[in-house]
Structure formats: C-alpha cells, structure tokens
Chain A
Amino acid sequence: MSAVPSSLTIPRHNAAVTEAPWLRRLLIAVALVFLASFLLLPLLLVFTEALRNGVGAYFAALRDPETLSAMRLTVIAAAIAVPLNLVFGVAAAWAIAKFEFRGKALLISLIDLPFSVSPVIAGLIYVLMFGAQGWAGPWLIAHGVEIIFAVPGIVLATIFVTFPFVARELIPLMQEQGSEQEQAAITLGASGWQAFWHVTLPNIRWGLLYGVLLCNARAMGEFGAVSVVSGHIRGLTNTLPLHVEILYNEYQFAAAFAVASLLAGLALVTLGIKTWLEWRHGDALSATRRH
C-alpha cells in the first residue's frame, strides 16, 4: 500500500471572504509595508548602527564601566521588582478570583492604575513623597535614608509601573478556573497552603510565567518613571534605558546603539518565549491570551 502524502488543500473560495483578490493582496501589502517600515527597519537599524564601528567597538562600548554599572542597576531593579510583583500579583489575583468581599471592584481598578497613569506622574509621586522638599523626604534624609536620586527610588518606581502585569494575567485565569479543585483538596484534608502549593500553583504556572515575563520586560525597559526619580548620576543611578539616552545626547551614537541593542535583544527574547508560551501552553493561559 503506498502512502499518499496528505497535502494541505486550500479552499479557493472562502464564502465569508467576498473581497476581490487584488484588494486582499493590497491590504496584506499595506500591513506588511507598515510593519516593515515602523518595526522591522528600526530594529535592524539598531543593530547596524551598533555595529557601525565594528565588533570591537561594540564590545568595548558594552564593557565600559558606566555601561556595566547601568546593567547592574537594571538587573537589581528588576530582581527586586519582579519577585515582589509576583507575590503581590498572585495574592491579589487569589483574593479577587476566589473570594467575595467589599471593595473588590475598587481593588481591581487600583491594580490597573499604573496602566492608566503616565509613567512621569508615577515618578513624580515618589519625588513628592520622598524628595528633599517632599512629604516624608526631610525626615528620611535626616535619618540617612536616601530614596530619590538613589537606588531605592528607582526600585520603587519600577515596582509601581510593573504592578499590574502578573495580577492582570492571573485574575481572569483564576476566575475561569473557579475554586472547585481547591475545595476538593481541602475536603481531602489538605491545608490552605497545601491546596495552594499542590493545586492552585500548578494550575496557574504558565499564566504566571507569562505575567512574570511581561513584568520583567517592562521592569528592565522602563524609562519615564525611573528617569524622574533617578537623577541620572552616572555609574550610580543610571539604568540601561537612561544610559542609552545619555550616550545619545553626547553624540556617542555607536555606544548608544550598542546599549540599545541589549534592550532590543531582551525584547526579542521576551517575544520569543511569549510566542512559545502561547503556542505550547495556550490552554493553560487565560482565555484572552489563547491563540
């Protein structure tokens, strides 16, 4: 028996599509040209500009002490903000999805606040609170605690702007899953913690990873809020995005693009993992993310 290779048969006429073929091609072309000129080309440009002076200059720019210090600070800020928002996000999503309580709607809107507020305002909030002329600033400075124009301010601003990512991903997912499995677990004698660890967490793990991924991308890429509180002290309070701006303003284009290429690379990796998650574990993500 000869195996017949199964070929994909593409229906020539899709009843729902009534546009003429030329119109269809035109629309696709417009979309592709737009995508290429506004996304692909700039991305390519980042890498070509970064390598304009050769691979040696590229790596020299990355090995610059100030660049290394900016990298370190970016990683530190993300390393603090992401786990905190992970814990917060899981706790908030748990509370919202599994319990009924007063002020639930308010809590949901509050979680969304960082999305609706301009990052500059987010930064300013902290300056107003902890700055030298701020509300709690003078007392803190008198006690030797510096927040604004220092690392704590940057971490706080990063936490603020990345607040919603994990919670936003988990709330619909956990609402969808309901709490029957947890109820089953406790009828079987599990404690609340055991039910969370053995039942809830495995059920939300891919959604959680998805949220953490987006949270991390934003934490490392945040510019506005961090810019307001950082003070741009080179080697001390500069994160990678801020460092790119400084280098660019000083006409060090190759170095600026070299550092920018790191952030672009991060974006590509994030995109890659995100796509993989959606493709491989789509059923374990909340309905809005499924493909």
Chain B
Amino acid sequence: MDIHVRKLHKHFGNFAALAGVDLDIASGELIALLGPSGSGKTTLLRVIAGLEFPDHGQILFGDEDMAHRPVRERRIGFVFQHYALFKHMSVLDNVAFGLRVKPRRERPGEALIQARARELLELVQLGGLEKRFPAQLSGGQRQRVALARALAIEPRVLLLDEPFGALDARVRKDLRQWLRDLHRKTGYTTIFVTHDQEEALELADRVVVMNQGAIEQVGSVEQVYERPASPFVFDFLGGTNVIAATVQGRTVRIGETDIAALRDSLHPNGPADVYVRPGDLRVSDADAPGLEVTVIAVQRTGPIVRAVVEHGAGGQRLQVELPHLHHDVPAFTPGATLRLRLAQFSVYPRADRPAPQTGVAAPVLIGRERVRIEVN
C-alpha cells in the first residue's frame, strides 16, 4: 500500500509537533523516521496509525484519505516500543486477538484462527512458545510476538515505534537483521521510528530525517549520509567537526590556508562553516595544502583509533577517527604537528549564528545552498 502524507499539521497546545509534513512512501518500502526526541517522528507515526488525529492535512492510503478515519478502520499493524502485549493472554491468544475481534461474518473459524496464529509464530521463529505468557518471554521474544500479532490482521502498512529501543545492544543488532529479512520475505510497507542513526542507516531503504516537526531530508541511506541537505542532517548522522571558513569564488579558505576548491561558484561569498566527519580527516600529502594541527591525545577503542587535534591560532579542537590499521595511525602521536586534508566535507553559508549542535534549532537550509566536494 502506497502512503502519501500531505501538509500535515498537529499541535499539542502551543507546541507544533508536526508543522506541514509532506511525505510519499511507495508500496513495499522500508522507511525510517529518524530524529532527536521532540522532532515529531513518533507523532507522525501515530497520526498515520490513527492514534492521534491531525489538525489538518491528508493521509492517503492509496488514494483514500484516512486522516479522520478511526484506527480500527485503517487496518494498520502497530508495534509499540514497550510491546503492549496483553499480559493475561497466552502468546497464541495475543497473536489471534486481531482475528477473534473481527465481526462475525468476517471472522475465520476458530481452527483457522489458531492455524494462522501458529503460522505467524513460526514466521517470527517462536514456534513452540504458544502457551507461554508474555511475562515468561525475553524482551526480544516479546517484540517478535508483538510483530506477529500486528501481522495477523494482514495490515496495509506496518508501523513500528522505536521497535528495538527497550532491548540491549546485542539483541537489537540480531533483531534488526531479522526484521530486514522478514521485510524482504513479506513485503509489507513498513515505517519505523528511531532516534538511532545507525539503526536507521542499517535497516531502511529510505531515511526521513526530522527536526522540529518538519522533514529536513528524505533520501536513501547513501544520500542522507553522503550528501546531507542541511547542517542538522550532517550533524545528526554521525559526529561532526565544524570549522569556520570563508568562501571566495570557488576557494574555501580556513584561516590563511586555501584548503580546497569548489566545483562551481554557486556558493555565496563570505563566511561559511565547513562540516567534516571525524572519519574524513586524513594526513595530507607532503606538499598538498592542508589544515595545520597539533595532536593532543590519541585513544584506541577496539577497531577505531580516535585522536583529538588542535587547529590554528584559535586552538579549536577537532576529532579524528581512523581504522586501527590505517597507515596514518603512526603519525598521530601526542605533540606531533601534522597537516590534515579533508577527504570529504560540506560547506554551509554562515549566517550570524553559532554553529548548530545536535538537537538544537538549526535553520533549515535548502539543498541548493549546500555545496559538496570530494577532494581526491
């Protein structure tokens, strides 16, 4: 089922949880709604589900506007963060619930209901646990029961609210993989909410990055990570170094150094911010231009080496990350002076404002204002 959200607004008192959201979801897609808490992602999910009603706007399932239809008429599968299993019912009864509450003329026979519930439990790999009660299951198992229960009504769309939020890291990783497989097998249009960028990037076909009730960027995992539309998106997806710079024509200048040339001169001249990920800073070649830095500290954490370096007169500190076997690693010894190149970065024009931080108001910049370069 394809889903289209049109100009959706939702206020809670004076707080605008959704401020004009437009989104198109193709049938069979696996979509992540990603954002910090308070960004409106859960509200959007609940409005699509019908657990909240929008102030105005449309929610189209196909070409049918569902915005003001009650939940039970929407036939959606909703999985809650804390599972919301019926704790007085066995696993089988939980899964069968959606079939048993159907109006009599649509309700399958009891034998069929049980067969269907068992089939779903097999699908979520919980065969044999039919008689257990929710309290006797682990968190991961409960989440899978919740999923089987939601699938029982053959929903038009599957909605998951922070589905792995309450699980420990290990189980979360396994379940992600498993959900990806399940999606491939069943093909349900699926929307899930997460604040974990890694989860969104690993699972989703497309990621919707939200901030302050609006969508900052919609795109494939590659698009949002490699070509973030705004400082907010850049910052939210992974760590960020923000370096003050100036743009003159096609030249990007940090301090007294020209560090790169832009591909075109569409970028407005004047002060700008260079956004560069810790993993995109490398030791520059002998005579190439680069950022003069002094290494302050180096820390090895498993497969990644993290270094803190100080740059320029202002003494601004930058984070650098390297794979532990990278040939640059030996150069990072505390006290050493290095020249770094920016393997990949984004430039955003700077208005008179402090550099944006994660979760804090960042002005929305449209894609064109952003210029991206790869220096080889």
Contacts and interface: CB of A to CB of B under 8 A. Distances in A.
A188 B75 CA distance: 7
A219 to B, nearest CB: 29
A252 interface: no
A180 interface: yes
B87 A203 contact: yes
A183 B80 contact: yes
Interface of B is mostly: loop
A180 B84 contact: yes
A275 interface: no
B57 to A, nearest CB: 21
Contact of A187 (B78, B82, B89): B78
Nearest to B76: A187
Contacts of B75: 189
B208 interface: no
A184 B51 CA distance: 10
B88 A203 contact: yes
Contacts of A194: 101
Contact of A181 (B72, B84, B150): B84
A5 B84 CA distance: 42
A184 B71 contact: no
Question: Looking at chain A, what size class is its interface with the partner chain?
Answer: 10 to 19
Contacts of B86: 181, 184-185, 198-199, 202
A187 B101 contact: no
Interface in A173-227: 180-181, 183-191, 194, 198-199, 202-203
Contacts of A187: 49-51, 71-72, 76-78, 150
Interface string B45-65: 000011100000000000000
A280 to B, nearest CB: 15
A189 B84 contact: no
A202 B146 CA distance: 19
A16 to B, nearest CB: 31
Nearest to A283: B135
A188 B149 contact: yes
Nearest to B73: A189
B102 interface: yes
Contacts of B87: 181, 203
Interface string A137-180: 00000000000000000000000000000000000000000001
Given A180-B84, A185-B97, 13 more contacts: A183-B71, A183-B84, A184-B149, A185-B86, A186-B71, A186-B72, A187-B50, A187-B76, A188-B98, A189-B98, A189-B101, A191-B72, A203-B88
User: Which 4 A-B pairs rank lowest in CB-CB distance, beginning with the nearest?
Assistant: A188-B98, A180-B84, A184-B84, A187-B78
Interface of A: 180-181, 183-191, 194, 198-199, 202-203
19 contacts: A180-B84, A181-B86, A183-B71, A183-B80, A184-B84, A184-B85, A184-B146, A185-B97, A186-B70, A186-B72, A188-B149, A188-B150, A188-B152, A189-B72, A189-B75, A189-B153, A190-B72, A199-B86, A203-B87
